């Protein structure tokens, strides 16, 4: 019996591959996606607390609807990229998620709002010819395992070269935010690392991208979004993730996605997470 592509569940649409073993670069995770269908795709991206490299190996386009721009090939988007869609047909894509502390060293910059390239930028803008060579090798690879190895080696070389390493205090602040799932106050965190609030705010934003407050909000939103996608009620998710009430959670969902908690609970972008990012970075 043939597949009814019009009614195919989001997770069933994709052939998803992940590395067989953990990589050597901390804070990096990879997943390969190949569309099983031939139907056109228009997939809204849900912001996630990691810097994402989307390396197109087929026929896809990243559309930044907030800025009316289109990107083909390999792109990088930051922690809060705004209204972004993946569009195309017969999608074949390698996604790499990087902890922002690792991403700053790998990319040599943060993707701060108003910074170089804004929050979405083509990889060749950052790496030049090196990005083209990486894409050529990935497309020529015979298997996903080979692709994963090529990508990890390329990113590990840049990380180990020490380009743009973040301050230990900034890395500690990020780890504390992740461990607390975004439920952390900035003033005590600054005191914990021995800095003023103003200094932590400035260094964090220059190296990670958003402000510490915005980063913590995104981490908490991500935790809530995955609970909503798992079928939990709006009220229970708001209470368990530290929101003042349902309206507070609703506002954060609108801020990060431009849509409602009901829409988030059925978002195709989140439907594949248990398969693609079972051990989320």
* pLDDT computed for residue 5 by the predictor: 42
**pLDDT score recorded for residue 90:** 81
What is the value of pTM for the model shown? 0.87
> Which DSSP helix (H) or strand (E) runs through 154?
helix 144-160
For the domain spanning 168-270, the CATH number is 1.10.10.60
pLDDT given for residue 10 in this prediction: 66
Task: Confirm if 95 and 54 have CB atoms less than 8 A apart.
Answer: yes
Handedness of CA 134, 138, 140, 146 (dihedral sign): positive
DSSP state of 32: E
7-164: CATH number = 2.60.120.10
- Rounded distance between C-alpha atoms, residue 48 and residue 32, angstroms: 17
Say if residue 81's pLDDT is above 80: no
Size (the chain), residues: 281
Per DSSP, what are the bridge partners of residue 44?
Answer: 85
Q: What is the pLDDT of residues 150-165, one digit of tens each?
A: 999 999 998 888 766 7
Domain boundaries, the chain: 7-164, 168-270
pLDDT computed for residue 1 by the predictor: 32
**CB count, 10 Å around CB of 13?**
22
φ/ψ of 113, rounded to 5, equals: -55, 130
Contact call for residues 154 and 123 (beta carbons, < 8 A): no
pLDDT at 168 > cutoff 50: yes
- Reported as a single tens digit per residue, the pLDDT across 100-153 is 888 888 887 766 654 433 478 888 888 889 888 999 999 999 999 999 999 999
How many degrees, rounded to 5, is the angle at CA 11 between CA 6 and CA 12? 55
For residues 96 and 159, the answer to whether their CB atoms sit within 8 Å is no
């Amino acid at each position: 019996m043939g597949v009814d592509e019009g009614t195919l569940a989001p997770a069933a649409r994709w052939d998803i591959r992940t590395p067989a073993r953990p990589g050597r670069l901390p804070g990096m995770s990879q997943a390969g996606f190949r569309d099983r269908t031939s139907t056109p795709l228009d997939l809204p991206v849900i912001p996630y607390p990691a810097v994402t490299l989307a390396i197109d190996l087929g026929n896809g386009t990243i559309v930044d609807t907030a800025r009316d721009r289109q990107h083909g090939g390999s792109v990088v988007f930051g922690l809060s990229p705004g209204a972004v869609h993946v569009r195309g047909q017969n999608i074949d894509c390698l996604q790499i998620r990087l902890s922002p502390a690792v991403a700053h060293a790998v990319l040599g910059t943060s993707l701060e709002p108003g910074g170089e390239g804004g929050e979405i930028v083509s990889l060749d803008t950052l790496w030049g010819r090196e990005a083209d060579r990486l894409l050529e090798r990935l497309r020529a690879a015979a298997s996903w395992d080979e692709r994963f190895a090529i990508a990890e080696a390329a990113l590990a070389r840049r990380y180990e070269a020490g380009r743009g390493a973040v301050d230990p205090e900034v890395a500690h602040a990020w780890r504390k935010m992740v461990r607390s799932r975004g439920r952390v106050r900035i003033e005590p965190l600054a005191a914990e690392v021995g800095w003023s609030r103003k200094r932590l705010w400035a260094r964090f934003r220059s190296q990670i991208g958003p402000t510490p407050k915005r980063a913590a909000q995104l981490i908490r939103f991500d935790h809530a979004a995955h609970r909503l996608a798992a079928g939990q009620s709006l009220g229970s998710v708001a209470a368990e993730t530290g929101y003042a009430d349902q309206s507070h959670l609703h506002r954060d969902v609108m801020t990060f996605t431009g849509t409602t908690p009901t829409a988030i609970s059925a978002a195709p972008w989140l439907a594949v997470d248990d398969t693609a990012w079972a051990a989320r970075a």
